[in-house]
Amino acid sequence: MRNPAIESAHALFGVVIALAVSCFASATHAALPAAVDGEPLPSLAPVLERVTPSVVNVFTETRVQVRSPLLEDPFFRHFFNVPERARERISRSLGSGVIVDAERGYVLTNNHVIDGSTDISVTLHDGRSFSAEVIGMDPDTDLAMIRIDAEDLQALPMADSSELRVGDFVVAVGNPFGLGQTVTSGIVSALGRTGFRGLQYQNFIQTDASINPGNSGGALINLRGELVGINSAIFTPSGGNVGIGFAIPSSMASYVMTQLAEFGEVRRGTLGLFVQDLTDELAGALGVEVKGGALVAEVVPDSVADAAGIEPGDVVVSVAGQLVAGAQEFHNIEGQLPVGELVELDYLRDQQAETVQLGVAALLSLDGAAIDRRFEGVVFEDLPAKARANRVRGVMLAEVESGSRLERQGLREGDIITGVNRSRVSNLSEFQDAVRAAGRPLVLQLRRNRSDYVARID
């Protein structure tokens, strides 16, 4: 006997199965379409075909003289017939670079990729290799420019990195782990990242596009194939990529590149101000209602800011028409001001808005009157007041006697001691007091060639 309810259920089940099969077939078909609206599948390949010839591999060699302490003993050398010449150790490393001027053969890379190298070679995308010469280096931004003598080069056009937004798609091209040219993609994760030690000027682009050792100096591009950054560093607890990479913005790289091409160095200006971040607590204490800004902590004597009447406690809100969000941003803007140019500085004093025009002065060299003191075969000098325009505090090593104990322990002429046993020292008097109080061993914080080091003196 027929049961209408069962027949109805069977019919409904058949409809569901048919719909499921139909949907599965549609989903399978949708996952692998041959075209979208009549267009081929979206791909980065056409962009990369234009970009990859502009990204190069950079190989460096560093030759280091190695001597054992035993070899310093004349008797030991004579007894064992050891030659006077020290043994040589060769250290090799690799990185990436970007062709930025095809006519002159200029390649932009990271300073840390070539720093200290005695030989630099560049391998192009087509397999050709060339020796490279250094045009200039800028440790303060970790950028450097080298030159190769080659024909048929292709330069990468630059975009304005200030137009980047968090969420924009980007692609990293470089030579990770020496594998050869590699492409990874991601998005802009954050902008304006700072806090990296040893760099005076920093405004990094953060991206989750995989950046690994060897990618340094490579290109970060947008989807139009334009350079938006130079890959520089990664955050990693393990040595590998964890999705946090950093690139130097193309706007900063463009300025440095122009300076290196013209002068072989970056000639920066200064307004003669030391500033700090304006925290909520400081803003409340000063009665200032402003988001961002940089608080003037010190005015360099006889600087352009001093002559214009800027005072500690003033709050800088913009320089040359660019809003200042904090101390690092003020520093970044100041470091790209052309020497001799007049710029407007907007600031707050007693909650009143003020504007002043300042002429950008050149950063002063560490020269001028000095107070000499001798200690352990080394002559120390107080830094002159004018040197504060270089944002340096400490004591300079004016002379280091050859063969002295401090020389054997790594100190060099021109080093600047900034701290003793983790205590900051700003002048010779503070240094002497710190040495007397510390006893032995001494742990000296040093600044050499704009990089920070530590030396232990037993």
Check if 112 is active-site. Answer: yes
Would the CA dihedral through 250, 251, 254, 259 be positive or negative? Answer: negative
User: Could you give the CA distance from residue 174 to residue 185 in angstroms, rounded to a whole number?
Assistant: 12
Contact yes or no for 376/350 (Cβ under 8 A): no
Gyration radius from the chain CA atoms: 29
Contact 97/129 with Cβ under 8 angstroms? no
* Active-site residue, from 142, 208, 314, 346: 142
State the Cα–Cα distance between residues 363 and 342, nearest whole angstrom.
16
CB atoms closer than 10 angstroms to residue 215: 29
Q: Is 216 a catalytic residue?
A: yes
Query: Within 10 Å of residue 41's Cβ, how many Cβ atoms?
Result: 10
Q: How far apart are CA 97 and CA 106, in angstroms?
A: 10
CA distance 286 to 152: 60
Catalytic hit among 112, 117, 382, 415: 112
Please confirm, yes or no, whether 142 is among the known catalytic residues: yes
Cα 55 to Cα 48: distance, rounded to the nearest angstrom? 10
The residue with tokens 């990296």 is 196
| Token digits of residue 138 | 């800028």
- Dist CA 187 CA 204 (whole Å): 14
**Coil vs helix vs strand at 402:** coil
Q: Which helix (H) or strand (E) holds 59?
A: strand 55-66
Catalytically active residues are 112, 142, 216
